Amino acid sequence: MALLAALVALVLTGQASAQDASQDQATTSTETEITPAPATPQSDRGSVTNLPLPRFVSLKANKANLRRGPSLSHRIDWVFTQRGYPFEVIAEYGHWRRVRDNEGATGWIHYTLISGVRTAVVTDSMVDLYRKPDTASRLSAQAEKGAILKLLECNISWCEASAGGYKGWLLKSGIWGVYDDEILE
């Protein structure tokens, strides 16, 4: 009998707690609608790959179509024909990645057409590549606007890059394909 009374008391207490909890949840839910939720680290990651968003990639194929939406049935807006061209991945959906180019054009590309190999495109009319990350060091090459460079290493201000058999250090300010505060090793 004492055991039965204890169980009834426990059940009644549990019901009261459940009612209190549902009232608390209703209050919390109202507060949540008013107060925006803080951004979580997960929001900076792709929902498919769990890789950082945004991030830089490069074109693996010799030709790639950028589409209006993430499927083959969407219209082609852009055709890229330069292997190694850098893109910034800004969204993911299934096998598709939404990318942006250095001029701000965006579109969807199939993931098999891009690579994690880091490249950059020269945005200044001409950039100098030095033997060391110092403008006083010896000049090893120059690259014109639109040239695609393979990035080897980057510190806060400089990147070591190669193209056409030449290798050297250049200032980040003359290229697109690496973030200002990004360090590549």
Which residues, including other chains, have CB under 8 Å from residue 138's CB and lie 6 or more apart? 130, 131, 132
Architecture in CATH of 120-176: Roll (2.30)
Q: List the domain boundaries for the chain.
A: 43-117, 120-176
Claim: this prediction has a pTM higher than 0.95: no
Give 10-residue mean pLDDT values along the chain (185 residues). Answer: 34 38 37 37 79 97 97 97 98 98 97 98 97 96 97 98 97 97 95
Question: Same CATH topology for 43-117 and 120-176?
Answer: yes
Which residues, including other chains, have CB under 8 Å from residue 72's CB and lie 6 or more apart? none
Q: In what order do the strands lie in the sheet with 64-67?
A: 76-80, 64-67, 106-110, 96-100, 86-93, 55-59, 114-115
- 43-117: what fold? SH3 type barrels. (2.30.30)
Which residues, including other chains, have CB under 8 Å from residue 75's CB and lie 6 or more apart? 67, 68
